[in-house]
């Protein structure tokens, strides 16, 4: 089952209302509310717009875009489903700052991909970022295929030290992701299973069913995943099993 986009947009709207600042501040160098337009000499695309907001919505894109053919985001910015649809419909390319570049003080970087989200997953991620000094980039997606492609691509590019996908289709996520030799994905249910897959297969992708798991359980599973540092990235990244 995919994410209810109406619910996602309502939640995003409430969050944006709390984070919003005076529109003029979006053109200053304070906090994370700056929008910069600049020329991009690298690939023939003349104008690129950078968003440093925590959450990027379709409404924000419509307000700020002015002929740009590409946008860039911070590594931990959340691109809402409606924003993704807007970029596709307008044929606008988008990219992120490398996670390592965005990370401060050399902190570890991880990616959390959410298909089915709960308040406990959000709380667990927030707490770990605050208390453990790690950086978690977060993505909300609507389809299993998109989650798999994003997870595999991130691991192949070494853009994160590990990936966690929250979905009730955890088995399918792990199975499809493991078609790539660079990925060692496993479905986990508790701290013991996380420790087991880390020890026996050096898992770099965890697929977790969030339903029924409380904040403490999720937090401890994530901490166990990060313990002892990231999994090693294989040298034959990108090759797939036939």
Give the start-to-end residue ranges of the domains of the chain. Answer: 5-17+25-97, 100-226
Higher per-residue pLDDT: 147 or 96: 147
Which helix (H) or strand (E) segment holds residue 109: the answer is: strand 109-114
Higher per-residue pLDDT: 146 or 234: 146
Higher per-residue pLDDT: 93 or 176: 176
Tell me the chain's radius of gyration from C-alpha atoms: 18
Higher per-residue pLDDT: 27 or 58: 58
Partnered with residue 96 across adjacent β-strands are: 73
Residue 14 has pLDDT above 70, yes or no: no
Q: What CATH class is the domain 100-226? A: alpha beta
According to the model, what pLDDT value does residue 40 have? 36
According to the model, what pLDDT value does residue 18 have? 47
Q: Which two tokens stand for residue 151?
A: 């997870």
> How many CA within 13 A on the CB side of residue 41?
0
Write out pLDDT tens, residues 112-134: 999 877 889 999 999 988 887 78
Count the residues in the chain. Answer: 242
0.75 cut: is pTM over it? no
In this structure, of 111-125, 165-179, 181-195, the range with the lowest mean pLDDT score is: 111-125
According to the model, what pLDDT value does residue 72 have? 85
Which helix (H) or strand (E) segment holds residue 223: the answer is: helix 215-226
Mean residue pLDDT of the chain comes to 76
Cα distances from 61 to residues 50, 102, 130, in angstroms, run 11, 22, 29
According to the model, what pLDDT value does residue 5 have? 57
Residue 33 has pLDDT above 50, yes or no: no
Residue 70: pLDDT band with limits 50, 70, 90: confident
Write out pLDDT tens, residues 85-103: 888 888 888 887 655 444 4
CA-based diameter of the chain, in Å?
A: 54
According to the model, what pLDDT value does residue 96 have? 74
According to the model, what pLDDT value does residue 48 have? 78
């Amino acid at each position: 089952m995919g994410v209810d986009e109406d619910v996602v947009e309502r939640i995003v709207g409430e969050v944006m209302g709390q984070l919003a600042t005076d529109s003029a501040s979006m053109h200053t160098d304070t906090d994370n509310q700056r929008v910069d337009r600049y020329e991009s000499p690298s690939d023939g695309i003349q104008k690129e717009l950078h968003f440093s907001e925590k959450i990027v919505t379709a409404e924000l894109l419509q307000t700020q875009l002015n002929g740009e053919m590409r946008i860039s985001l911070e590594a931990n910015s959340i691109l809402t489903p409606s924003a993704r649809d807007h970029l596709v419909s307008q044929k606008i390319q988008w990219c992120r700052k490398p996670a390592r570049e965005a990370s401060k003080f050399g902190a570890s970087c991880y990616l959390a991909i959410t298909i089915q989200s709960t308040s406990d997953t959000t709380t667990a991620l927030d707490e770990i970022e605050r208390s453990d000094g790690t950086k978690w980039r977060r993505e909300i997606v609507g389809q299993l295929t998109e989650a798999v492609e994003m997870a595999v691509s991130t691991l192949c590019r070494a853009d994160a030290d590990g990936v966690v996908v929250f979905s009730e289709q955890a088995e399918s996520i792990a199975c499809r992701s493991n078609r790539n030799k660079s990925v060692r994905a496993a479905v986990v249910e508790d701290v013991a299973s996380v420790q087991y897959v880390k020890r026996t297969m050096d898992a770099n992708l965890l697929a977790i069913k969030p339903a029924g798991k409380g904040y403490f359980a999720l937090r401890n599973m994530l901490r166990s995943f990060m313990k002892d540092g990231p999994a090693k990235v294989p040298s034959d990244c990108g090759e797939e099993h036939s």
